[in-house]
Amino acid sequence: MSLLIVGSVALDSVATPFKSVENALGGSTTYISLAAGYFTGPVHIVGVVGEDFPKKYLDLLESHNVDLTGLQIVPGGKTFRWAGKYHYDLNTRDTLLTELNVFEKFDPVIPEKLRKSQYLCLGNIDPELQLKVLDQMENPHFVVCDTMNYWIEGKKDELLKVLKRVNVLIINDSEARLLAHEPNLIKAARIIKEMGAEILIVKKGEHGALLFMDDIIFSAPAYPLEMINDPTGAGDTFAGGFIGYLHKVQDVSPESIKRAVIYGSAMASFTVEEFSTKALENLSYLQIQDRYREFLTISRIDEEIE
């Protein structure tokens, strides 16, 4: 059962108070697929880039179990570019540049052989495009979706149609409050689940993540890092680790979903340690397993009842 990821592939320029990079590999599809590729493969992607997209990045993706059959390369076109500057605490950032270029007319045509993919991850793109992807799929078994405040505010009707057709929605805490019009996350989660997606994951950055599924509320801790260099792509990497693990085990039971949340958190914790995708380029599965066990250790107690 194939795993398909649809979203953006970009070139990012990122500045923090500590360092900056230019034209680094970025985009939701990129982070998701690189993370997922450590658990399963090949990981299939659908996206679009321009003729200026560096070959070294294509080679990098292919070397990490990513199948590029569905990646459109537009002759003479320019790749989607984004630039941002983070503030000192790295929790807020300013967008300095957004050049959609070929991504502005992105038409996600799913290759015939991938339309039967049973696991699908919809990156943070226009809900109308997410719907177009879903219309081309042949009864996928498990669908994960990401979105952002821009689409919640500007394309809510279309987003609500998407939520009725996916299994999991992954958003951050401010997006959850915005979507539900409710400041309390527990109440917001109930409201959002009533919109369609039966599983909701709320990312809380340095405070971990919350899973809402059936009557279960599961809290995953954040990994204590002494150095965070670049938060870009952490949420997408979380999604990649999450769906990559589930595709590997072919099990979407509540306990497996909980483990997938921990694996997603582990992958995200690696990403923020370096700029762009650098931390994802040289990992080993043993490192991932070690960090997964560390996550379990920091959240476990020896129970004593008096």
pLDDT value for 89: 76
Inside any domain, residue 196: yes
CATH of the domain at 173: 3.40.1190.20
pLDDT value for 306: 63
Inside any domain, residue 305: no
Dihedral angle sign, alpha carbons of residues 274, 277, 282, 284: positive
Whether the Cβ atoms of residue 63 and residue 35 lie closer than 8 Å to each other: no
Inside any domain, residue 190: yes
Inside any domain, residue 306: no
d(CA 11, CA 25): 5
pLDDT value for 77: 97
Pairing between β-strand 209-213 and β-strand 199-203 as defined by DSSP bridges: antiparallel
Whole domain around residue 209: which residue ranges? 3-298
Inside any domain, residue 291: yes
Inside any domain, residue 261: yes
Mark out the alpha helices in 13-53 (DSSP H runs).
Answer: 28-36
Whether the Cβ atoms of residue 124 and residue 148 lie closer than 8 Å to each other: yes
Whether the Cβ atoms of residue 211 and residue 257 lie closer than 8 Å to each other: yes
Whether the Cβ atoms of residue 275 and residue 14 lie closer than 8 Å to each other: yes
Inside any domain, residue 14: yes
**Counted domains in the chain:** 1
Inside any domain, residue 303: no
pLDDT value for 302: 63
Question: How do the pLDDT tens digits run along the chain, 306 residues long?
Answer: 799 999 999 999 999 888 889 999 999 999 999 999 999 989 999 999 999 999 999 999 999 999 999 999 999 999 999 999 998 877 788 899 999 999 999 999 999 999 999 999 999 999 999 999 999 999 999 999 999 989 999 999 999 999 999 999 999 999 999 999 999 999 999 999 999 999 999 998 778 899 999 999 999 988 888 788 888 999 999 999 999 999 999 999 999 999 999 999 999 999 999 989 999 999 999 999 999 999 999 877 666 656
pLDDT value for 222: 86
Question: Model pTM?
Answer: 0.95
Cα angle value 135/127/233 (rounded, 5°): 115
